């Protein structure tokens, strides 16, 4: 045994204490006889299968809500005293209710802009991409640039590049810039390269690569990581109206999935402004933790500007006390930082590209930790994960445990030596569970190129869970679907949620349904520093909840992805569906 208190246990104790204190406030009105008078709810649900995700993971039948907060959770009989003449009472007809879910890693504004632009997410082949690009260009003849994204590297086949000529054939006369689904590669046409002045003489930037034709050395049309910025910087910026429309799209979509809280995985000041415009208009029906992007070029001196952003924009439903540090790229283009070199023909010693020198990373995280920031790392390869943990350890040594809840996203490879360090250092393991099955990205673009040892610890969600780490989930939308039910299904089956595979990938890394639900509710709320108000259905917390069309515990795991949300409440108000239509 260790003398560490199980973090999840500590969390639930804290939750109970807070809930009890708040429950006292909600009911403190006394009648003239001196006895406690109950507050009557404005909205009450009964006859449900309410999965509370409280410390005991108990179920309830009824929930009563007043002024946006939960004033009762329990059985139907006990709910009666909260129901008065003004209470709207809704029969759940046995349906399952979950706390409003939270996505701990998502790109809502970018994703929404992409969905409203030239959106390739629904297509899967190069021919389909080209057809969509042509159709979009034809339908938007006055747009000076064609912008969009959502294409997949896997569609081009192993080792093949997304080439400029494919787009030139349908749009030769306007620049076209299309971000890949995973956000790491930019696909452009010849005119876009020309406008950006990229030729065979242009050197690769420090944080990326200009893909080139192996015979001629000409830029071939795909730009890896930071090289994409060379073109993106030349494109007209998105107007406020475009940005607002993108966020509006995302909020609506997320509410429809039962999501009421998010962590935006990379924001700039213009994103913070976008959130506040929607919040001021009463349209931001989400709690937002915004991760401020850490620039690769300036070093520690950027912390002053980040502090200014935090103080200017942490208000309303937005909390800008997180900093996002992207420490590596991805394995599919060999930019993910790995401990053992990639197995590449003719190239030895390729270990990926660390975005921040490990020494500087330790200094940055130590300073950010001391200044009250949570650090949200992007780390895919086992080398980047180790560098991130080393940085948190350095901060811990210098500052002590300040409770900042640093977390690492993606975690495709975690060396077994590093797995226990998450719990020891209180680092949250933020997985994107939809990726944890044997799709083409894994079988064709990754497994053949990483070391044999690394291939044995891919997306080790079960190991991390069993080892006592706090596991939170996020979608990384628009990289992958934001539908939490598809992600939960893959977490519990390790298979494609839409029937893409029928063999579980590393089945020992499956987790149970209660653990998967916790990762999207209480643990994601903990990651978002908001578990005192959200993440479970308990007295005193905000009435953020989702009513489902089926009970997830009563169906085969392979049907979880088909779940629909009938009603979502945010702070007690319907933001998707209607209570009278249940």
Which residues here bind Zn ion, judged by CB under 5 A?
265, 476
C-beta of 264 vs 571, nearer to Zn ion:
264
Evaluate the omega torsion of the peptide bond into residue 478 and state whether it is cis, within 30 degrees of 0.
Answer: yes
With helix as H, strand as E and coil as C, how does 59-81 read? EECEEEEECCEEEEEECHHHHHH
Q: Of 4, 14, 52, 59, which is closest to residue 518 (Cα–Cα)? A: 52
C-beta of 178 vs 265, nearer to Zn ion:
265
CB of 560 to Zn ion, least distance (A): 23
CB of 387 to Zn ion, least distance (A): 18
C-beta of 265 vs 355, nearer to Zn ion:
265
User: H-helix or E-strand containing 98?
Assistant: strand 96-99
Q: What is the CA radius of gyration of the chain?
A: 24
DSSP E strand stretches across 231-373? 259-267, 287-293, 318-326
CB of 2 to Zn ion, least distance (A): 33
C-beta of 379 vs 488, nearer to Zn ion:
379
C-beta of 53 vs 471, nearer to Zn ion:
471
Query: In sequence order, what are the beta bridge partners of 51?
Result: 59
CB of 353 to Zn ion, least distance (A): 17
C-beta of 69 vs 184, nearer to Zn ion:
184
C-beta of 12 vs 186, nearer to Zn ion:
186
CB of 265 to Zn ion, least distance (A): 4
Strand 62-66 and strand 43-46: the pairing is antiparallel
Per-residue CA distances from 127 to 133, 151, 155, 211, 316 (Å): 10, 11, 10, 21, 45
Q: Of 258, 118, 265, which is closest to residue 178 (Cα–Cα)? A: 118
CB of 115 to Zn ion, least distance (A): 16
C-beta of 66 vs 476, nearer to Zn ion:
476
For the chain, the straight-line distance linking the first and the last C-alpha, in angstroms and rounded, comes to 48
C-beta of 119 vs 571, nearer to Zn ion:
119
Neighbours of 580 (CB within 10 A): 9
CB of 291 to Zn ion, least distance (A): 9
Signed CA dihedral, 49, 50, 53, 55: sign only: negative
CB of 326 to Zn ion, least distance (A): 8
Angle at 515 between CA 509 and CA 521, to 5 degrees: 130
CB of 476 to Zn ion, least distance (A): 4
Strand 219-225 and strand 185-188: the pairing is antiparallel
């Amino acid at each position: 045994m260790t003398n560490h208190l199980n973090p999840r246990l500590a969390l639930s104790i804290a939750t109970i204490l807070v809930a009890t204190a708040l429950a006292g406030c909600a009911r403190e009105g006394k009648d003239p006889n001196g006895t406690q008078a109950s507050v009557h709810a404005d909205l009450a649900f009964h006859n449900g299968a309410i999965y509370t995700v409280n410390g005991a993971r108990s179920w309830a039948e009824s929930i009563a809500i007043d002024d946006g907060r939960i004033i009762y959770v329990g059985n139907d009989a006990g709910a009666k005293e909260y129901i008065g003449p003004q209470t709207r009472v809704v029969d759940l007809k046995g349906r399952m209710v979950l706390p409003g879910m939270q996505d701990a890693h998502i790109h809502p504004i970018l994703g929404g802009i992409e969905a409203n632009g030239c959106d390739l997410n629904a297509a899967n082949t190069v021919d389909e991409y080209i057809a969509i690009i042509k159709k979009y260009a034809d339908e938007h003849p006055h747009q000076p640039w064609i912008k969009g994204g959502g294409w997949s590297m896997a569609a081009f086949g192993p080792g093949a590049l997304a080439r400029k000529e494919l787009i030139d054939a349908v749009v030769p006369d306007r620049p076209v810039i299309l971000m890949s689904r995973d956000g790491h590669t930019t696909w452009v046409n010849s005119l876009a390269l020309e406008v950006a002045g990229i030729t065979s003489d242009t050197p690769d930037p420090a944080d990326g690569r200009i893909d080139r034709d192996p015979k001629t050395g000409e830029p071939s049309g795909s730009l890896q990581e930071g090289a994409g910025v060379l073109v993106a910087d030349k494109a007209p910026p998105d107007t406020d109206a475009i940005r607002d429309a993108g966020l509006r799209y995302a909020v609506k979509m997320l509410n429809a999935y039962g999501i009421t809280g998010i962590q935006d995985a990379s924001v700039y000041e213009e994103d913070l402004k976008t959130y506040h415009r929607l919040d001021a208009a009463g349209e931001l029906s989400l709690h937002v933790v915004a991760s401020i992007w850490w620039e690769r070029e300036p070093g520690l001196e950027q912390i002053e500007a980040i502090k200014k952003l935090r103080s200017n924009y942490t208000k309303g439903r937005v909390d800008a006390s997180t900093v996002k540090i992207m420490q590596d790229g991805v394995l599919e283009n060999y930019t993910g930082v790995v401990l053992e070199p990639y197995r590449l023909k003719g190239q030895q010693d390729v270990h990926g590209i660390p975005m921040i020198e490990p020494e500087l990373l330790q200094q940055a995280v130590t300073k950010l930790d001391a200044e009250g920031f949570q650090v949200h790392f992007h780390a895919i390869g086992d080398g980047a994960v180790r560098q991130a943990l080393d940085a948190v350890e350095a901060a811990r040594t210098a500052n002590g445990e300040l409770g900042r809840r640093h977390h690492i996203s993606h975690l495709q490879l975690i060396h077994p030596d590093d797995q226990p360090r998450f719990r020891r250092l209180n680092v949250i393991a933020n997985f994107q569970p939809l990726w944890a099955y044997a799709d083409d990205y894994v079988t064709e673009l990754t497994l053949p190129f990483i070391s044999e040892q690394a291939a044995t610890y891919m997306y080790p969600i079960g190991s991390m869970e069993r080892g006592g780490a706090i596991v939170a989930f996020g979608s990384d939308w628009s990289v992958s679907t934001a539908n939490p039910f598809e992600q939960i299904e893959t977490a519990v089956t390790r298979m494609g949620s839409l029937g893409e595979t029928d063999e579980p990938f590393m089945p020992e890394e499956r987790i149970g349904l209660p653990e998967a639900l916790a990762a999207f509710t209480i643990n994601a709320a903990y990651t978002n520093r908001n578990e005192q108000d959200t993440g479970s259905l308990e007295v005193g917390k905000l009435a953020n909840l989702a009513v489902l069309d089926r009970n997830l515990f009563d169906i085969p795991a392979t049907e979880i992805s088909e779940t629909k949300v009938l009603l979502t409440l945010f702070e007690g108000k319907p933001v998707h569906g209607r209570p009278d239509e249940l």
